C-alpha cells in the first residue's frame, strides 16, 4: 500500500490540553505549535504556516493575503478558536477555497442510466459487478472472454462480443479477468483508440492486464474520459508516475477486498484449503494445474 502522507497542522499558540491532545492523537497529522502564551511574531507565523494543510489560530492572529500567500497551495482548513472571524480575510480565503457558487455543469460526470457496460471476464467477480450495476439502469451488458458463457450471461441478458466490439460500444469498461499470458497487456493502445471519448475505463483485476503507458496517453490526450484503477504495476506506483498527475484518473491501493469480513473470510478459506490438502481431502478452493 502507498505510504500515508501526513498533513501538516500549525497551531499559533498554546491551547488547552484537550484540543492539543486530540490533534496529537491524529495519526494522519503532523502537528507543530508555537509554544508560548504570547502572540506569535509575523515571521514565525509565516515560517510555520508554509506548506501547512491546516491552521489553528486565535482571534489575535491576523490571517491576511500576505499570510495566505506564504502558506501556499496545501492549505485546506483554517480553524479559529473564537466565535468572531473579523481577523480572517474572508474574501482572500474564498479565492483559495475551491468552493464557488453552484454551476449547472460543475463536477459532472457520466451516469450508468441507459448506458452500455462492457465486462472483460464474466467470471464470478464479473457477474457480481453486473449484478450490482444492473439496478442503476444499465441498458445493455456486453462481455468478452475465452468463450461465451450463456448460462451466466442470461441473468443480465449480456451479449458475448469480441474485444474490439466491446471497446467500441461500451460507455463503461470493467476489467475483471484473470492475468494469463493471453490477457497480459490486453488493454492497450488498440483498445483505447476504439473506445468512445466519453468512456470510463475501470481495472480491478491485475495491473499487467493494462499497458499503462498507453492508458496514460489515452487519458492525457482526451481519447477516453476517465479511468479508475484499483490495481497497477508496480503496487504502489512510484510517486512520480505520470498516471498520478492526471485529474481524470483515480487510483486506489488495491483495496477491493478491504473489509474486515472479507479479509477474515479469505484467511479462513486459505487455512481450510491448506488443512484439506495436508490431510488428503478435497480442497475447498483448489487451482487445477
Sheet containing strand 159-160, strands side by side: 159-160, 140-144, 116-120, 172-175, 200-203, 226-229, 249-251
Q: Which residues 6+ apart lie within 8 Å of 109 measured at CB?
A: 200, 226
Rg of the chain (C-alpha set): 26
Q: How many helices (H) and strands (E) does the chain have?
A: 10, 11
Residues labelled catalytic: 254
70-77: Cβ within 8 A, 24+ apart: 70/46, 74/8, 75/49, 76/7, 77/53
> At which residue does the C-alpha cell 456486453 appear?
142
Q: What's 208's DSSP letter?
A: G
CB 83 within 8 A of CB 67: no
Segment holding 159, helix H or strand E: strand 159-160
**Residue in this structure with the C-alpha cell 489515452, named with its chain if needed:** 218
Amino acid at each position: 500500500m502507498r505510504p500515508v502522507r501526513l498533513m501538516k497542522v500549525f497551531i499559533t499558540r498554546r491551547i488547552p490540553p484537550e484540543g492539543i491532545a486530540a490533534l496529537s492523537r491524529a495519526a494522519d497529522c503532523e502537528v507543530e505549535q508555537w509554544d508560548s502564551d504570547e502572540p506569535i511574531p509575523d515571521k514565525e507565523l509565516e515560517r510555520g504556516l508554509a506548506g501547512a494543510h491546516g491552521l489553528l489560530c486565535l482571534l489575535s492572529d491576523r490571517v491576511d493575503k500576505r499570510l495566505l500567500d506564504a502558506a501556499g497551495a496545501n492549505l485546506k482548513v483554517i480553524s479559529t478558536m473564537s466565535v468572531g472571524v473579523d481577523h480572517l480575510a474572508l474574501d482572500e480565503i474564498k479565492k483559495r477555497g475551491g468552493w464557488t457558487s453552484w454551476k449547472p455543469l460543475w463536477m459532472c460526470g457520466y451516469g450508468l442510466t441507459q448506458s452500455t457496460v462492457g465486462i472483460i471476464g464474466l467470471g464470478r467477480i464479473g457477474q457480481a459487478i453486473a449484478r450490482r450495476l444492473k439496478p442503476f439502469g444499465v441498458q445493455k451488458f456486453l462481455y468478452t472472454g475465452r468463450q461465451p458463457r450463456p448460462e451466466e450471461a442470461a441473468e443480465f441478458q449480456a451479449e458475448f462480443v469480441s474485444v474490439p466490439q466491446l471497446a467500441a460500444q461500451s460507455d463503461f469498461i470493467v476489467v475483471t479477468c484473470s492475468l494469463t499470458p493471453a490477457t497480459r497487456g490486453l488493454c492497450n493502445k488498440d483498445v483505447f483508440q476504439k473506445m468512445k471519448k466519453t468512456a470510463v475505463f475501470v481495472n480491478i483485476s491485475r495491473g499487467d492486464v493494462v499497458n499503462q503507458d498507453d492508458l496514460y496517453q489515452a487519458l492525457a490526450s482526451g481519447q477516453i474520459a476517465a479511468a479508475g484503477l484499483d490495481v497497477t504495476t508496480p503496487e504502489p506506483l512510484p510517486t512520480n508516475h505520470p498516471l498520478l498527475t492526471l485529474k481524470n484518473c483515480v487510483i486506489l491501493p488495491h483495496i477491493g477486498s478491504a473489509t474486515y469480513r472479507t479479509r477474515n473470510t479469505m484467511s479462513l478459506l486459505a487455512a481450510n484449503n491448506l488443512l484439506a490438502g495436508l490431510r488428503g481431502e478435497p480442497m475447498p478452493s483448489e487451482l487445477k494445474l
